[in-house]
Amino acid sequence: MIRPSFSGTLDAIPVIFLLTLISLLHPDRALAQEAPFNVFSEHQHQFYTVDQLINSKLRLRHSAVKPMLAGKIPEVQGDTSVIVSRHNSLFVRKLLYENLIRYQGKGFSFQIDPLFDFGAGYELENSKTTWVNTRGLRIEGSIGNKIAFSSSLYENQALLPDYIDRFINTWTIMPVVPGVGIMPGQGIVRQHKNSDAWDYANATGYISYSPSEILNFQFGHDRHFIGHGYRSLLLSDVSFPYPYFRMQVDFGPLQYTYWLMQHTDPGAQPLSFYHSFRKKYASMGYLNWQVSDRIQVGILQALVWPGDDSIGGINPPSWQYMNPVVFMHPVHYGNGSEGNLFIGLNMQWEMSDRHFLYGQLMFDEIKVNDLLRQTGAATNKYGGQLGMKVFDAFNFDNLYLQAEWNVVRPYTYSHIRRLSNYAHYLQPLGHPSGANFSEVLLIADYHFNPAWYVAGKVVFNITGLDEDSLNYGSNIFRSYLDAPGGIDATGIRVGWGKESSLFHAELALGYLINPKTNMKLEAKYIFREQGPQSDRLLTNWFTVGFRTSLRNLYYDF
């Protein structure tokens, strides 16, 4: 197996030096802002700046699907420096408010930035020194004003606290390639030099084409998000990146987004040693309606189906599901598919210029009679979200507050076979806790000035785990046919099974150096206690880091 490596970095120095000289020929010209670039929506610090720009300042329409196109948020693609506006020193400009390498010629432009995360920490319970060493590169460019491209690469080594190690050793992979388990959102890990540290790599990229102002096509390898909250029950960016095709069209108060995706299950038994990890496919359509300037409502239909049958025959994507405007339920039923069909609702109400109420409903499978009688049937699989965001809370400028409640019934996201569940790379495509849980989130973020910030987060989660080999519905990789009492079982409630609770609290103090790459210095303290009463895992973890944060990594579930 060939792994990404930066051992040849020294050989690349002359090339990078040459590109830097070229970029200095046009130091004041940015990438073509008309090109259809994606805009990241990072959940730490600058996310709230972008989120406030999208919602309370620009009041943009159709803000549920992320990443958004930069053309819809023109201010983000301009000079977003919050520290300096002009400086003659090349070093200061590159460090504080410019891309490392930037060039624009006639009909072509590109920019190159380093990606890194250098951190150290200490876990009190095990007297364990932790560290992370991430090096990477991001290349973005445009051809004319209709085509954009982006590619990012991360090479990582890390020694992490026990609660993350426990996750990796729980969600192990099949021996198709060398490796142990899954790093949350970052793919397969293996031991680093026979130590307790982990070695892993990942990459993202896309090509984006907009033939007109209302239509965009993308082909890439990345994650997506539907919703207005911190979590999403419909489609989240928790899991590892996946290959996708995306089409998005805007017409007046309506926006329609269609995805065709390929997902992977490294934990499924391979058909033979010579085959790769087993695959599955997903087709999704999300229609967003801007009801008024302050209200938007969206509906999702999604279908997941296995990439092979039960005896090993290849099951390629069905042509019927590649139709971006078809209603999937009758097609799915008429096709005799064993796929897993989902329907979701998403909404946001701008109560005032600073107060936003949002929510989601996700329906995996419903028996209306049982639902109305509240029998707690195993086949009633659904979840809900309710949250509120406040900008400039209590009339304090730059104070952001958010509260969110998520609940998902047992067996939601699971299906008859694990290859048709709603997951990718051993993590859910919806909420990271899977199913059979209730969760409350509290988030606060305050900017002392454009550079200094403090951020806090509290997560409280109660989950019903499996017990005595019985399937109580939290593990979405198990078939819901195995529910105690079978598919016709009733009396099932959220949290049944072996109760496990999580209390996760974190506090961060940071300094934003360069908004172009979200480069920052940050110190963070994490306290968490998790597990059933008989096996509690306590974590006190202090970290300091110097990083560029252009992706969401979740360790709070």
- pLDDT tens digits, residue range 259-290? 999 999 999 988 765 568 899 999 999 999 99
> Helix or strand or coil: residue 511?
strand
Give residue 336's pLDDT: 64
Confidence of residue 57 (pLDDT cuts 50, 70, 90): low
Distances (CA, A) of 355 to 50, 84, 265, 421: 16, 30, 40, 36
Query: Position 321: which residue type?
Result: Y
Look up residue 326 and give its DSSP letter.
S
- Phi, psi (degrees; rounded to nearest 5) at 433: -80, -5
Distances (CA, A) of 492 to 125, 376, 378, 415, 501: 37, 5, 6, 17, 19
Both tokens of residue 95?
């460090």
CA–CA gap between residue 496 and residue 302 (Å, rounded): 28
Give residue 12's pLDDT: 43
Q: Are 492 and 498 in contact (CB under 8 A)?
A: no
Give residue 153's pLDDT: 96
Average pLDDT, the chain: 85
Please determine, for residue 116, whether its predicted confidence score (pLDDT) is greater than 50.
yes
Average pLDDT in the 156-181 region? 93
> Helix or strand or coil: residue 521?
strand
pTM for the predicted model, two decimal places: 0.89
Confidence of residue 44 (pLDDT cuts 50, 70, 90): very low
> Please, what is the Cα angle at 15 between 11 and 19, to 5 degrees?
155
Torsion over CA: 64, 70, 73, 77 (sign):
positive
Distances (CA, A) of 54 to 164, 251, 350, 391, 398: 33, 19, 12, 12, 15
Range in 64-68, 120-124, 507-511 with the lowest mean pLDDT: 64-68
Give residue 194's pLDDT: 86
CA–CA gap between residue 208 and residue 211 (Å, rounded): 10
Distances (CA, A) of 285 to 162, 318, 340, 460, 540: 39, 16, 14, 32, 42
Confidence of residue 514 (pLDDT cuts 50, 70, 90): confident
C-alpha 383: how far from its chain's center?
19
CA–CA gap between residue 475 and residue 492 (Å, rounded): 15
Confidence of residue 240 (pLDDT cuts 50, 70, 90): very high
Range in 117-126, 206-215, 322-331 with the lowest mean pLDDT: 322-331
Q: Are 398 and 392 in contact (CB under 8 A)?
A: yes
More confident residue, 493 or 489: 493
CA dihedral 186, 192, 194, 196 (to 10 degrees): -60
Confidence of residue 438 (pLDDT cuts 50, 70, 90): very high
Longest alpha-carbon distance in the chain = 73
Range in 9-23, 274-288, 335-349, 403-417 with the lowest mean pLDDT: 9-23
Q: Are 538 and 529 in contact (CB under 8 A)?
A: yes
Confidence of residue 43 (pLDDT cuts 50, 70, 90): very low
Bridge partners, residue 207, by sequence: 149, 219
Average pLDDT in the 293-317 region? 84
Distances (CA, A) of 233 to 7, 429, 482, 556: 40, 8, 23, 16
Bridge partners, residue 454, by sequence: 446, 509
Enclosing H/E stretch for 23: helix 9-23
Please determine, for residue 521, whether its predicted confidence score (pLDDT) is greater than 80.
yes
CA–CA gap between residue 23 and residue 51 (Å, rounded): 31
Q: Are 111 and 142 in contact (CB under 8 A)?
A: no
> Helix or strand or coil: residue 47?
helix
Domains and CATH numbers, the chain: 9-548 (2.40.160.10)
Both tokens of residue 442?
């509290």
CA dihedral 231, 236, 238, 242 (to 10 degrees): -170
Question: Which letter, b or e, does each residue of 253-270 get, where b requires 16 or more Cβ atoms within 10 Å of its Cβ?
Answer: eebbbbbbbbbbbbbbeb
Alpha helices in 42-119 (DSSP H): 46-52, 74-77, 90-96
Question: Which letter, b or e, does each residue of 478-496 get, where b requires 16 or more Cβ atoms within 10 Å of its Cβ?
Answer: bbbebbbeeeebeebebbb
Please determine, for residue 82, whether its predicted confidence score (pLDDT) is greater than 50.
no
